[in-house]
Structure 1
Amino acid sequence: MRFMLDFLLLPLFLHVLPLGAPEAPRPAAAVVRQTPAPAKELLTWSASRPLTWADFKGRPNTGDPLHALTTANIGAQIGCQDYVFSANVQATFTPTESWVKSPHTESAALLHHEQVHFDLTEVHARQLRQKLKTLKFDCEHLQPAFNNVMKVAIANWQREQQRYDVDTNHGLNLIKQKTWDDQVLQRLTALQAYAAPAPAAAGTASSSGQ
C-alpha cells in the first residue's frame, strides 16, 4: 500500500502597522485542502538564510496604512507505504505575496520583526513534526484524522502570530520585542530535534510549491 497526499494551509498574512495607526483586525483564513499548492517561488525556513528586504517582491498597496506584509505558510505532504505513515512539513515564505513600502520603511528593526514572524512559523512547524511522530495514524482512514490534527495546529499558529503582533505593537514596543526574540529562539533550540532536514543542494533557499 502506497499513496501520498499534499496538504496546503492557506497563507497567514502578517501585517505591520505604522506608529499610531489603529489596529484593524484582519483575520487570516486557514484551511486544509487536498490539493497541491500553485507552483510559485517559496523560501523554506533556514537558520542560515534569514530574510532580506529583497525577498519582499510583492507590490505594496499605496493606500494601505501598513508598512509591510509577510505571507508565511505551513505545508504538509503525508503518505503511507506498507501501512507506515510518513510526513514532510515545511515552513515557507512567499516573496511575491509579501511586500514592504520602501525606501523609508525598510528599517533593520522592521525586517527583524518580520523575521521573527517567520521564525515563529518554523516553531509551529517543528511542533507539528513532533506531534506527527508521536501519533499512530490508521492508513485506511488517514485523511480525517490528519485533518483534525492540522486544524488544531493552524489555529494555534494563527493565534500566537496575532498575539505576537499585539504584544509587540507590531515591533514598536522594543522591550516586548526582545522578550519574544528570546522566547522564540529558546523554543527553536528546544525543538532542534524536529528541524527539517537540510536541502540536498547546498545554498538552496527556495522550493517549489507542494
Structure 2
Amino acid sequence: MTVISRLLLVLVSLPLLGLALYAVTYSANHAIVYSSIALLEGVAKHSSPDAQQAISVLETGAARAPLVASVRSSLSDFHTTQKDYASAQSVIEEAIALRLTWPYDWMRLAELYAAQNIFDERMSVAIDNVERYGGAERVLTYRKAVFAMRSWYGLDEGQREALNPSIMAVLSSGRAAQRFFFDVERYQRSALFCRQFRGEVSFGDMWCSVYEERQRARLK
C-alpha cells in the first residue's frame, strides 16, 4: 500500500472514529441520566436519608446530557415532594426551555405557581400553554379540572374561564365525574362546587344535598 493510499485510508477513517466516539459518549451520558432518575425515584419512594446524594447524582447526569428535558422534569417532581417549590420551578423552567411544546411541564409549572401563590400573568401564560399544547390530552383535562378547584380562590376571572371547559368535560363523563367528586371532597372544595357547578351534572343536586345535610349535622 502506497503512502498516499494509507493517508486516504486515515482520512476516511477519522470521521467514522469521531462518530463512534460520539455514540459511546452519548450513550454513556444517557445511561448516567436514566440510572440517576431511577435512583432518585427509589429515594423518593423510600424516603431515604440519601436524598441529597441522589439529587447530586441526578444533577451530574443532567449536566452531562444538557438536552435531556425529562431528567429535569423528574428532578422538579422530587423537589416538589420535598416542598422546595422554588427549586422545582427553576428546574421545570429549564425543562420547558428544552421542549417548549410539552404540556405536562407547563401543567407542573402552573401547579408550582399556585403552591407559591403566584397568580399573575405568569400563571395565565402557563394555563394558556397547557391548553395550547395539550388540549386533547384526557389526563391533562382531569388534572386541569382538579387544579382549578384547588386553586379557585387565587385564580382571576380569566384564568377560571380558561380552566372551566376542563371542569365541564370531566363532569360530562360519568366515571371521571365520580372520581372528581372524591377529589373535590379531599381538597375541601365541596361548598365551592355546590355554589358554582351544582346544576352542571345530573346527580350534582343529590350529591350537594347529601353534603349540606352532613354539614348541618356537624353544626348540631
The reply to whether TM is greater than 0.5 is no
Q: Which has the higher strand share?
A: 1
Q: Which has the higher helix share?
A: 2
Using CA pairs under 8 Å that are at least 6 residues apart, name the structure with larger relative contact order, 1 or 2: 1
In our comparison, the structure showing a higher alpha carbon Rg is 2
The TM tier, using the shorter chain, reads under 0.3
